[in-house]
Amino acid sequence: MPGDGVLTASADAPGPAQRRLLLDEQLGPSLMSALLKRGMDAACVVEMGELVGASDEAVLTFATQDRRTVVTRDHRDYRVLDQLWRERSATHFGLVLLTENAFPQTRDSVGSVVRALLAADLPEPGGTLYLRPVERS
């Protein structure tokens, strides 16, 4: 954990096509399955027993150690956590933040998030991206 020893994401981060994602608890297995079908490396907190119910810091620490970018709807808490890590000189492996305004939870929300993630320039280690919707093609 940051503070117990500084975590730093490796400089040899995978390129965008190889980026590994960790979907936070509010983003379920259906999003993970849709991303996997499109060739993205995605894991889901709700399918990882040790992370279910874990603190946001524990999730971010796990993701950093596993070289994964966290994708979450919990943007307010993760912005605070991002700042805390910066103050500790710790570097996570990247954050992708979704807001309710940009991605309301509807029947099409999985498709909207998938399209946006596939089109996005995902953040480098230590970076944060507020994901924006893209038009259907």
Residue 105, pLDDT score: 87
For the chain, what are the domain ranges? 18-130
Across 16-37, average pLDDT: 88
- pLDDT band at residue 136 using 50, 70 and 90 as cut-offs: confident
The Cα 103–Cα 4 span in angstroms is 36
**Cα-flanking dihedrals φ and ψ of residue 92, to 5°?**
-85, 180
- pLDDT band at residue 137 using 50, 70 and 90 as cut-offs: low
The answer, yes or no, to whether residue 38 has pLDDT greater than 60, is yes
Residue 106, pLDDT score: 85
Q: Are 44 and 70 in contact (CB under 8 A)?
A: no
CATH for 18-130 is 3.40.50
The answer, yes or no, to whether residue 17 has pLDDT greater than 80, is no
Structure token digits, residue 21: 């994602």
Quote the mean pLDDT of the chain.
Answer: 88
Give percent helix, percent strand, percent coil of the chain, each to the nearest 5: 35, 15, 50
**Cα-flanking dihedrals φ and ψ of residue 2, to 5°?**
-60, 145
9: which residues sit within 8 A by CB, 6+ positions away? 64, 67, 91, 92, 93, 94, 125, 126
